[in-house]
Structure 1
Amino acid sequence: MKEENPRFSIVDRIKSFKYAFNGLKIFFLKDHNGRIHFFAAVVAIGLSIYLKLSSLEWIALLSVISAVFVAEIINTSIENLADVVSPDYHPKIKIVKDLAAAAVLVCAFLALGVGGIIFIPKLFF
């Protein structure tokens, strides 16, 4: 049986970072959507540097970029888990996958909205 209150271990904390960075590596190297979001983030950040955004604009931009990455990572995790649980088509698994994808879509729309509010006036007015 697992100990209820294991002692704090710096080694275990370092290992947890290793696992997290490995997850990011997997996401950005193997997930097609992850690479698309990364490219969009690089373009947005490059444009932000060029346009010299204010601190609050940077906070908004980096927040929505992070939200899109988090949503996509969770979506990818759910899809991978669902494929293990039910390799064949199952209508309930489809619903789970569609809902996870919808979360990414909502975050992407939010990111587009924030990007539009920040960039359109700076580029066209």
Structure 2
Amino acid sequence: MSFIKFIIGRLKAVRYAFKGVFLLLRTEASLQVQAAIALFMTIAGCYFGITATEWIAQTFCIGLVMGMEGMNTTAEAIADFIHPDFHKKIGHIKDIAAGAVVITAIASCIVGLIIYVPYIQALFE
């Protein structure tokens, strides 16, 4: 019986997690932009026929950036809930969270360049 409770609990957790994904996509403009970029990169990957290893790197980068954006959104929401008025420390926390997103986005752009520049160069040869 406890195994069934465990499975039901996991299914509920997954449901809440997907609810969070849809909330992020519906309410966060930056995540919507990142989702559009992810779709574009997925189409580019199909067009250029990137390798399995390149798909792994691209998928990891997309997930990392979007997941980090979700964590940034969470940090900002918690900070605003705790201290709704402007506060220097809260601003500092928000800046750090946003900086983490930028770091992952820059690294992901570099990975994208490593993957796609050779394919794009091949088009012009």
Specify which of 6, 14, 24 is matched with residue 17 of structure 1. 14
Comparing both structures, which one devotes a greater share of its residues to helix?
2
Partner of 2:43: 46
Q: CA deviation at 1:47?
A: 0.2
- Mapped partners of 2:121, 2:25: distance in 1: 33
Structure 2 residue runs of 5 or longer lacking an equivalent are none
Q: Are 2:109 and 1:117 equivalent residues in the alignment?
A: no
From 66, 69, 72, the equivalent of 1:69 is: 66
Q: Please identify runs of 4+ aligned residues in structure 1 that moved more than 4 A.
A: none
**Match among 77, 93, 96 for residue 96 of structure 1:** 93
2:30 corresponds, among 29, 33, 39, to 33
Describe the SS at the equivalent of 1:120.
Answer: helix
Q: Which amino acid aligns with 2:60?
A: S
Q: How many residues align?
A: 120
Distance apart, 1:74 and its partner CA: 0.2
Identity of aligned residues (%): 32
Alignment gaps of 5+ in structure 1: 1-5
The two structures, once aligned, show a CA RMSD in angstroms of: 1.3
Shift, 1:9, TM fit: 2.1
TM (norm. structure 1) is 0.92
Measured in 2, the distance between the counterparts of 1:118 and 1:62 equals: 12
